Amino acid sequence: MYDMKRVLVDQGSGVEIMYPDLYNGLNLKFENLIAYDSPLVSFDGKVVILKDQIRLPVQAGSEVVEVDFIMVDAYSHYTAIVTIAWLHALGAVSSTLHLMVKYSSEDQVKELIGSQSMAKQCLVVAIMHQPEAKPLAYTERGS
């Protein structure tokens, strides 16, 4: 059992992502990975060629959902990104405003609550880690 922290719930992403911190924290071995060769467009618009994926059980309260994570060997302050596929498998609804995921389990509504301070910290680190933007070349009209 490993308690995942710094997980981004991104309803706009197409695949669940696992970063090296989580991979290492789970003590996974290379032989646990399955080849994956489809490209992915990162947040900064770059195409990343992915090589490996792994199917892992993810537990939320008493509910367990199998998730196919794509291993991305890149820097991220997050340990993982889960998508709408995970939310649907769990039967959950998320609110980015409230940093909360709600789902039904054992005839009750359960909640996963995020940390506002951790979300701010992740945002600051993501902004600070951005590569320098290149200035756009403008052409004047009428010239």
Following DSSP, what letter does each residue of 53-85 receive, concatenated? EEEEEEEETTEEEEEEEEE--S--SSSEEE-HH
Cβ contacts of 108 within 8 Å, gap of 6 or more? none
Kindly state the tokens that stand for 31.
Answer: 């032989």
Domains and CATH numbers, the chain: 7-128 (2.40.70.10)
Between the alpha carbon of residue 102 and those of residues 11, 93, 113, 128, the distances in Å are 14, 5, 9, 31
For tokens 């309260």, name the residue.
61
pLDDT band (50, 70, 90) for residue 140: low
Q: In this predicted model, what pLDDT tens digit does every residue of 35-90 receive, in sequence order?
A: 887 877 776 677 776 778 999 998 887 888 899 998 888 777 888 889 888 888 88
Tally the residues of the chain: 143
Answer whether 0.95 is exceeded by the pTM. no
Q: In this predicted model, what pLDDT tens digit does every residue of 84-100 receive, in sequence order?
A: 888 888 888 888 878 88
Which residues face 68 on adjacent strands? 55
